[in-house]
Chain A
Amino acid sequence: MAGSMHKGNIAIIGAAETDSVTVQPDMSQLELHAQAAQRALSDAGLKPSDVDGIATTAIPFEVAHHLGIKARWLDGTMVGGCSYMLHVRHAAAAIASGAAEVVLVTHGESGRSRNGVGPYGASPQSLTGQFEAPFGATTPYSIFTVPAMAYMKKYGLDRSDLAEVVVAQREYAVNNPRAMRRKPVTVDEILADSTVAYPFNKDMICVVTDAGGALVVTSAERAKDMPNADKAVYLLGSGESHEATLMSQMEDLTSFEGFRRASQEAFATAGVTHEEIDHLMCYDAFAHLPLYMMEDLGFVKPGEAAAFHKDGETRPGGRLPTNTSGGGLSYTHSGMYGMFAILEAVRQLRGEAFVQQPNVKTSFVQGVGFFFGAAGSLVLSNQQP
């Protein structure tokens, strides 16, 4: 097959998560990959022998061999939590150019139980080991959070604006039986809790879970002959970009160039406008991320994302339902959350979400990786243009 990797020529035809996406102390990280992969293949009506391409944040041939796959195309792109957006994008390019036909994208992470996981932390000779870690910036909550005060000062915001993001997303999680945090919560309750890393309270920081997820990607042409052809989700457009590994080198502390560039390319390749987006997934490891993303993606003007949340526009029934699973803040966050943002978009587009929003035809998924380091964007639709 040759042709465009975008505009609906490539489809996600299988999608699945592990049995649970919260706490799984009896499974290793590799088995989380495997279980999700087997479920996604079964969803697509395929066997491991049907797969000829593998993309994952783990060692790709380890996952392939573990599953009995003989791949002719391997992608080990590892740029943190948005790697899976890049995997889908790269798989689309590979399929469009004939380098692969059926690509399996897998995520598995024992982020909570830490089974079969390598040691955490930067080498003291790495850039982060020399120029960030010695200053106590050693954990996501002490690195990713650092620009937020500058952002809030610029737009006259305070911590209640971060709490509003949590409250909005919790509305979805309350009705999602698979979510980690399901208790309704108010702004006052969040602010009354002690701060893990000021200005961030616990609820403004993602959950820590054990979870896996997987996708099967193929050509739209081939997808038409598969058992769940009517559930195909088409890739309309995509983009990827980056800034630096060091937080201090972010050009503008109030806006991430990676979001701006990746999303612009995704909109341009998809040929859709913001008005045509019915549903949004914003990778939310921390409560300030949906604010940065909505602005950098152009859904609202700079400084307006907090009011957009406060006004209920992202909540169930709002103008732009966002992070409808509950997101990383409430649903699941095994470490590299991007897979679960894509999977929720697929569920909404299939009409199978736990908190299904009406009339979702086109979804925008924005990922981020290694803090404000890398970015990946996908525009997905349940209709082929």
Chain B
Amino acid sequence: MATGLVPSPTPETAPFWEGTKAHELRIQQCNSCGKFYFYPRSHCRYCNSTDVEWKTVSGKGTLASYVINNRPTPPFDKETPIIVALIQLDEGPRMMSNIVGVEAKPENLELDAPVTVDWEDRGDQVIPVFRFAEGA
């Protein structure tokens, strides 16, 4: 298990973090306008409707941008660079995550390349991380 900060859910975000424990990426979709949105909240960020529903999404997306953090601060391991990434999900929303499974070097990090979700245990939570999609 990698060391690092552990997220702590609120009542509104708990379904997201329950999903990650089940290795499912769950985000909310608005039944009024049909849009997916992130981060979790009681209403749609686009049309303000409260008719919203949790959905398990594909976990597929692309690498929108990144920075290689060569100086992580405790409780992260200071010696292990972290690829801090913005992931554009196929369903529309963008979220922050990590790219794992490659050495933290720019030549390994092609922008807009397809990625898929994976899971990392963190304290009493599970955080969503991403790998470059196989065969891509």
**Which of A's residues lie within 8 Å of B, judged by CB?**
123-125, 127, 129-139, 141-143, 145-150, 153, 194-200, 246-249, 253
| A197-B67, A197-B70 known; A137-B7 Cβ under 8 A | no
Query: Across the interface, which residues of A come within 8 angstroms of B6, CB to CB?
Result: 124, 134
Query: Across the interface, which residues of B come within 8 angstroms of A195, CB to CB?
Result: 68, 70
Contact, CB under 8 Å: A125 / B8: yes
The 0/1 profile, CB within 8 Å of A marked 1, for residues 3-29 of chain B is 011111110010001000000000000
| A124-B5, A149-B111 known; A130-B13 Cβ under 8 A | yes
The 0/1 profile, CB within 8 Å of A marked 1, for residues 45-71 of chain B is 000000000000000000011111111
| A197-B70, A246-B39, A253-B64 known; A131-B7 Cβ under 8 A | yes
Contact, CB under 8 Å: B9 / A130: yes
Listed by A's residue number, 8 A-B pairs whose Cβ atoms lie within 8 Å are: A129-B7, A133-B5, A137-B96, A138-B5, A138-B72, A149-B67, A197-B71, A253-B65
**How far does the Cβ of A250 sit from chain B's closest Cβ, in whole Å?**
8
Contact, CB under 8 Å: B5 / A142: no
Contact, CB under 8 Å: B76 / A127: no
**How far does the Cβ of B104 sit from chain A's closest Cβ, in whole Å?**
8
Contact, CB under 8 Å: B86 / A147: yes
**How far does the Cβ of A42 sit from chain B's closest Cβ, in whole Å?**
40
| A198-B70, A253-B65 known; A129-B8 Cβ under 8 A | yes
Query: Across the interface, which residues of B come within 8 angstroms of A196, CB to CB?
Result: 70-71
Please measure, in the bound complex, the distance between the C-alpha atom of A20 and the C-alpha atom of B110, giving whole angstroms.
44
Contact, CB under 8 Å: B64 / A150: yes
Please measure, in the bound complex, the distance between the C-alpha atom of A248 and the C-alpha atom of B9, giving whole angstroms.
18
Please measure, in the bound complex, the distance between the C-alpha atom of A143 and the C-alpha atom of B6, giving whole angstroms.
17
Query: Across the interface, which residues of B come within 8 angstroms of A149, CB to CB?
Result: 65-67, 111
Chain A binding surface, main DSSP class: mixed
Query: Across the interface, which residues of A come within 8 angstroms of B94, CB to CB?
Result: 248-249
Contact, CB under 8 Å: B70 / A248: no
**Which of B's residues lie within 8 Å of A, judged by CB?**
4-10, 13, 17, 38-39, 64-73, 76, 82, 84-86, 94-98, 106, 111, 122, 125, 127, 129
Contact, CB under 8 Å: A134 / B127: yes
Query: Across the interface, which residues of B come within 8 angstroms of A253, CB to CB?
Result: 64-65, 86
Contact, CB under 8 Å: B68 / A197: yes
Closest B residue by C-beta to A145? B67
Contact, CB under 8 Å: A248 / B96: yes
| A248-B95, A253-B64 known; A130-B86 Cβ under 8 A | no
Please measure, in the bound complex, the distance between the C-alpha atom of A282 and the C-alpha atom of B58, giving whole angstroms.
41
Query: Across the interface, which residues of A come within 8 angstroms of B38, CB to CB?
Result: 248-249
Contact, CB under 8 Å: A134 / B122: yes
Query: Across the interface, which residues of A come within 8 angstroms of B65, CB to CB?
Result: 146-150, 253
Give the top 8 A-B pairs by smallest Cβ distance, nearest first. A136-B82, A150-B65, A124-B8, A198-B68, A130-B7, A142-B69, A248-B96, A145-B67
Contact, CB under 8 Å: A139 / B5: no
10 further contact pairs, Cβ within 8 A, besides A149-B66, A248-B38: A124-B8, A125-B8, A130-B7, A138-B72, A138-B73, A141-B71, A142-B82, A146-B96, A197-B69, A253-B65
Query: Across the interface, which residues of B come within 8 angstroms of A147, CB to CB?
Result: 65, 86
Please measure, in the bound complex, the distance between the C-alpha atom of A246 and the C-alpha atom of B85, giving whole angstroms.
13
Please measure, in the bound complex, the distance between the C-alpha atom of A358 and the C-alpha atom of B39, giving whole angstroms.
49
**How far does the Cβ of B77 sit from chain A's closest Cβ, in whole Å?**
10
| A141-B69, A141-B71, A196-B71 known; A146-B84 Cβ under 8 A | yes
**How far does the Cβ of A208 sit from chain B's closest Cβ, in whole Å?**
13
